[in-house]
Amino acid sequence: MIERYTTKEMGRIWSDENRFATWLKVELAVTEVLCQDKIVPKEDLKVIKQKAKFSVKRILEIEEETHHDVIAFLTNLSENIGPEARFIHLGMTSSDLLDTSLALQCKESGSIILSKLHIFHKTLRNLAIKHKNTFQIGRSHGVHAEPITFGLKLALWSEEIKRHIERFSNALEDIQYGKISGAVGTYQHLDPSVEERACYNLGLKPASVSNQVVQRDHHANFLSSIALIGCTIEKIAIEIRHLQRTEVLEAEEFFAKGQKGSSAMPHKRNPIITERLTGFARLLRSNAMAAMENVALWHERDISHSSVERIIIPDSTNLMDYMLIKVNKLFKHLIIYPDNMLKNLNLTNGLIFSQEVLLSLVQKGITREDAYQLVQKNAMQVWEQNKDFKTLLKSDKDILNLLSVKEIDSLFDLNKVLVNINKVFERLELS
C-alpha cells in the first residue's frame, strides 16, 4: 500500500500495530479455551492478560535476528509476561495464528467494502430514477444505434453492483475461516474442540479440514470477487471517459475550483478520476491472478503464498475501498448535459429510427429482405449526402405505396422508447 491511495480505515486494519494486536487476540482466545480445559491455570491466564503487551519496534528488532515474525512476536510477549508466557501458543503452529488472524482482517476490511458497495448502489439507483426520461443515443460498436435514456444506463449499472453485493457477501462469508489444527492439520497436540471454541469466540468458523494452512481457494475467491467489482467500476469509468470527450460531452467529471488539468494547456479538464479507476482495476485483476497461483502449495504447505499475500490482500482491499469512495463521489457530483445528449442523438438526421420504419413495412406485408433494402437505400443517402431521413422516406414512391405520410411521422416519435423503459424500471423497483 502507498500512502497516496491508502484510506484511513484500511490503513489501520493492515498496519503493523493492528496486525500484532490481532495476533494477540487470537493467542488469547486459544489460551482462554485451554484455561477452560484446565490446561492453563486460571492464575497464569490472569497474569497473561494483564501483562500481554507488545512493541512493534521491539518485534521488528527481534525479527532482524530470528528471520521469523511469529517467533519475534512470541519472544516479545515472553519478555513482557514472564514465565507464564509458556502457555502462549501452546500446541499451535505459526499458520494457526497467521491464518486465523488474516481471516479477522479480511472480515473487517471486507465489511467496509460491502458497506460502501451498498452506498454506491443507492447512488446509482437514485440517479437512474432522476434521469429515467433523459434521452440519450445508444451506441453499438461506438456508432449511433437507437435512442435510450441515461437513466436506463444507470439502472443497468446499479443492477450489476447489486449482483456484486450478493457475490461479495458470499465471498466475505467464505473468507471467515480460522484453524487451530497444528503443524499438518491433525490436531495432534490440541483437540478439535479448542479450534471450534476459539474460532467461535473470535467470530469465525473453524475450517472443516485443513493441513498446515486454511486452503487458499478461500482467499482466491475473496480477491476474485474484489477484482470483479473492479471490472464493473472500470466499465463505468470508461463510459464516463467516452462521454467526456470534447466531441461528445454528454457527461463530465466535476472540475473543482483551483483544479488544474494540464501543466501545458490551461484549457484542459481531464477525466483523471475515471482514468485512475481504470488503472486500479488492472491491478485488482493481477492480484486476483496471483491469489489463484497461491492455491497450489507443496504437500501440506510451503510459504510461496505468504510473501504474495502480504502485498495483494492489503492492497486489493485498500484499493477497492479507495475506488468505491472515488466512484461514489464521482456520481454524486457528475456533470450531466441533457442538451448535448439530445443534440448528439439528432446528429444522424433521423437514422436512429430505421428499425421503426423496417418493422412498420414488414407489418404491411412485404418480406423483411425487401423492407430492409428499401430502408437501407434511403439510409445510405443520409450517410453519404447528409440528407434528412424522414424527408427522403416521404419522397420515396415505393415507401409511400406502403406507408402514409402520417404513418411515417408517427415512426419518429422519440417518446415511444419510454414505454418499455418504464416497464424495465418497474421490474427493477425503481420509482
**Cα(30)–Cα(205) distance, integer angstroms:** 14
What is the sign of the dihedral through the CA atoms of 227, 233, 239 and 243? negative
For residue 336, list its beta bridge partners.
251
| DSSP three-state, residue 206 | strand
Q: Which three cell numbers stand for residue 333?
A: 457530483
Q: Report which of 401, 365, 395 is spatially closest to residue 378, judged by C-alpha positions.
A: 395
Torsion angles phi and psi, residue 138, rounded to 5: -85, 140
User: Which of 55, 115, 193, 262 does the annotation list as catalytic?
Assistant: 262
**Cα(83)–Cα(422) distance, integer angstroms:** 73
**Cα(235)–Cα(254) distance, integer angstroms:** 19
Contact call for residues 150 and 336 (beta carbons, < 8 A)? yes
Q: Report which of 79, 390, 365, 120 is spatially closest to residue 237, judged by C-alpha positions.
A: 120
C-alpha pair distances (Å), 14 with each of 1, 62, 163, 214, 294:
9, 21, 27, 20, 20
Direct distance between the N- and C-terminal alpha carbons of the chain, in angstroms, rounded to an integer: 41
- DSSP line for 221-256: HHHHHHHHHHHHHHHHHHHHHHHTSTTT-SEE----
Q: Report which of 194, 8, 25, 12 is spatially closest to residue 103, judged by C-alpha positions.
A: 25
**Cα(95)–Cα(115) distance, integer angstroms:** 30
- In one-letter notation, the amino acid at residue 366 is I
Alpha helices in 82-216 (DSSP H): 94-130, 150-174, 192-202
Q: State CA 23 to chain mean position distance.
A: 28
Give catalytic status of residue 262 as yes or no. Answer: yes
User: Which of 67, 141, 267, 299 does the annotation list as catalytic?
Assistant: 141
**Cα(195)–Cα(16) distance, integer angstroms:** 25
Q: How many CB atoms lie within 10 A of CB 378?
A: 22
Contact call for residues 153 and 145 (beta carbons, < 8 A)? no
Contact call for residues 177 and 205 (beta carbons, < 8 A)? yes
What residues are annotated to the active site? 141, 262
